[in-house]
Amino acid sequence: MADIFGLLVILVITWLIGSRIEKNHYKKIKEREIRLIKKPIITYGAKRFKTNKPIKSVELVTGEVVISGDYFKKFAADIKNFFGGRLTSYESVMDRGRREAILRMREKAGNANIIVNTKIESLMVNNIYHPQSVPQCAIIAYGTAITYDK
C-alpha cells in the first residue's frame, strides 16, 4: 500500500514540475523563433553553394543540447507502449530538443546571411537497456555559416 502511495506522490510531483518546465520551455522557444524569423536563412541538405556576392567569412557553427524527459512521461509512455501507437509524451521532448539545438546554432551564427547544409545528429546518453532509465537525448545541430561582404 505504501509503495503505491509513494509512486502516486512521485507521479503527481513530476507531472506538476515536468509539465511546467515544458510549458516554459515551449514559450521561450516560440519567442526566440519569432525573434529570429528574418535572421539567417537555413538550408538542409544542399551541399553545393554558389553565389556571385563577395564573401567575408565562412565558418562552422554548432548548437548542442542535452534534454531529458521526466518520470511521469516515462510512466505514461510505458503504458502506451503496451498498446502501441504514438508515444506523444516523448515526441514533445525530442521536438523541444531539436528546436532548441537549431535555435542555439542560429544564435551563434550572429550576423551571418545564410547557414548552408544544416545537419542534426543525436544520440541517447542514458542506458537504453535499463528498464527504469528515463530517456536523455543529446543533440548537435551544425552547419556552415556564410557572411557576405557589403
Partner 1 sequence: MIVTNIESVPGMRIKAQCGMVSGSTVRAKNVFKDIGAGFKNVIGGELKAYTELLKEARDEAINRMIEQAKKLKANGVINVRLATSSVSSGAAEVYAYGTAVELEKIEG
Q: How far apart are the first and last CA of the chain?
A: 72
Window of 1-9, 31-39, 77-85, 117-125 that interacts with partner 1 by CB under 8 A = 117-125
140 near partner 1, judged by CB under 8 A:
yes
Q: Contact at 8 Å (CB) between 97 and 65? A: yes
Task: Find the shortest distance in angstroms from Cβ 129 to partner 1.
Answer: 10
- Residues pairing with 121 in the sheet: 140
Q: Residues 51 to 70: which contact partner 1 by CB under 8 A?
A: 51, 54-55, 58-60, 62, 64-70
- To the nearest 10°, report the CA torsion of 95, 142, 121, 20: -30
Tell me how crowded residue 102 is: count the other CB atoms within 10 A of its CB: 23
Question: Which amino acid is located at 27 in the chain?
Answer: K
Q: Which residues make up the interface to partner 1 (CB under 8 A)?
A: 10, 13-14, 17-18, 21-22, 25, 46-51, 54-55, 58-60, 62, 64-71, 73, 93, 100, 116-117, 119, 121-127, 133-134, 136, 138, 140, 142-144, 146
